[in-house]
Structure 1
Amino acid sequence: MGIYLFMMPSQIAAGGVSGLAIIINRILPQFSVGLIMLVFNIILFILAFIVIGKEFVGLTVYNSLLLSALIYVFERLIPINGPIIDDLLVNLIYGILIGGVGMGLIFNENASTGGTDIIAKIISKFTHLNIGTSLLIADSVVVVSAITVLGIEVGLYAILGIILNSTVIDKVIAGFNTKYQVAIISKEVETITKFITEDMYRGVTLLHGKGGFSNEEKRVIHTVISRSEYGILKKKVMEIDPKAFIWVNVVSEVHGEGYTF
């Protein structure tokens, strides 16, 4: 919807095969954007199968064919002759926000919508750059083409678009991968530890501490859990020990036996 309602009518080629298709459609209007996207994606599927693997390609084929088909159907059933809003910046922002969130959700499932997403995945695999940055590199070629064919103004908006798009994608992926490092000081160490290990199936490390004011020896419960699990743990800890002291740090990546998410 972001591409069809906002990007295509405004001729904003902000990266991706969709952007490339918009540029080619401007030169060869007899070929629809959806059809051009489909052809380019088939070529890139073959490349992805060789370099990345069949699992990624399997998920990507479904998403890409669905995207290309939807745009092709929209072009036939709901033709749009011009921008919904006569403001390039507004169209750019809404188009990128809608598309970026969708792409972030798809990348989080180790798939893509095809196109330069595939190239970005390949770049990320070999350079270890994050997906957003890799996509920024891949889309630069499309932006240069946009400046040449569509003009400097649209090209500059396209540059802004790919920067915004990479940021939105990284934020969405980071949001899903965010984990909480939780530390708890309580007199009910055994009960809370048992709940975490047996009910939540998460690992626990018990650390030794000492109260700075009371000089009392204390044990600190340390665990790493997901965002959704934190609400469950907090509620249970408050039920077990209303006086428990809890502090939380947000972490974006966790590795190790018993802790890999």
Structure 2
Amino acid sequence: SLFLEVLHFPPLFDEMILNVIFGGFLYGFVSVIALKADGSTGGTDFIAMYVSERFHRGIWEYVFAFNVLILLIFGSMFGWAAAGYSILFQLISTQTISRYYHRYSQILVEITTKDPEQVAKQFKTYFRHGMTVIPAYGAYSQSNFFLCKSIVSSYEEREVIERIREVDPECITYTHKVDHFYGRFYRRPIE
């Protein structure tokens, strides 16, 4: 609030709607950067992070609903035009956060390898997740191999693949999104 009193920024566009759209996206994007660094913008995202940590899922749609409720009260007291612009701003910013902040998204990583011991050892060294190793038979190659499976955070996907390929460059790896996961799952705490 102090900076808004001291510093003055001219609007980027002459159209109010363009300012709201651009501002909502920019605010959402900056919020994602802060959240990925385990920070907060000091608004309702602080509460959202606490609740999300407790229930292990993003709750940005509820944050949006709460903010809309507050803005509807504001609109009834001070005018609907500003409340409408603010609701549009909130919609764009929370959708941007939901789209780009995936701390609670999980993926299944499946590695096809002939050396499961090395893959499992490398995985266990760098990640705090379990891994299931299943013997398999390749119909095309007519040879034995193993499927190594694990659920990891979407933020860990790239590092998992890089670490596994260090010990088995010939492995075949694929990932896909997990909609629901029930059970114990390690997630690095927010500090």
Query: Shared fold (TM-score greater than 0.5)?
Result: yes
Q: What residue number does 1:194 align with?
A: 121
Task: Describe the superposition over 1:136-157 as per-residue Cα deviations: whole angstroms up to 9, x where unpaired.
Answer: 22222343333663444x4433
Rg bigger for which structure?
Answer: 1
* Pairwise CA RMSD: 3.7
Query: In 1, Cα distance between the equivalents of 2:90 and 2:150?
Result: 38
Output aligned runs, 1:1-261, within 5 Å: 34=1, 72-76=2-6, 78-80=7-9, 83-104=11-32, 109=38, 113-114=42-43, 130-144=58-72, 145-146=74-75, 149-152=78-81, 154-174=82-102, 176-227=103-154, 229-251=156-178, 256-257=183-184, 259-261=185-187
Instruction: Look up the equivalent residue of 1:140 and give its one-letter code.
Output: V
Q: In structure 1, what residue type is equivalent to 2:25?
A: L
CA distance in 1: counterparts of 2:141 and 2:48, whole angstroms: 55
What is the letter of the counterpart of residue 78 of structure 2?
Answer: V
Cα distance, 1:201 vs. partner?
4.6
Q: Deviations for 1:51-101, whole angstroms, at most 9, x for unmatched residues?
A: xxxxxxxxxxxxxxxxxxxxx13312x235x63421112211222122223
AA of the residue aligned to 2:123:
I
Structure 1 residues 118 and 203: alpha-carbon distance in aligned structure 2, compared to 1, 3 A threshold: closer
Q: Deviations over 1:230-255 (max 9, x none)?
A: 43443344444333221111347756
Q: Structure 2: how far apart are the matches of 1:225 and 1:74?
A: 42
Q: Is the 8 Å Cα contact of residues 107 and 176 (structure 2) preserved in structure 1?
A: yes
Q: TM-score, normalised by structure 1?
A: 0.55
Higher-strand-fraction structure? 2
Which amino acid is 1:183 matched to?
E
TM-superposition CA deviations, 1:146-188 (whole Å, max 9, x none):
3663444x443333222222212222332x3344321111112
In 2, Cα distance between equivalents of 1:224 and 1:122: 23
Do the aligned partners of residues 135 and 256 (structure 1) sit closer, same or farther apart at CA in structure 2, a change above 3 Å counting? same
Q: Which runs of 5+ in 1 are unaligned?
A: 1-33, 35-71
> Which one has the bigger helix percentage?
1
Matched residues, number: 185
Task: Calculate the TM-score normalised by the size of structure 2.
Answer: 0.71
Counterpart residue identity of residue 60, structure 2: G
In structure 1, the residue corresponding to 2:28 is in which secondary structure? helix
Q: Which runs of 5+ in 2 are unaligned?
A: none
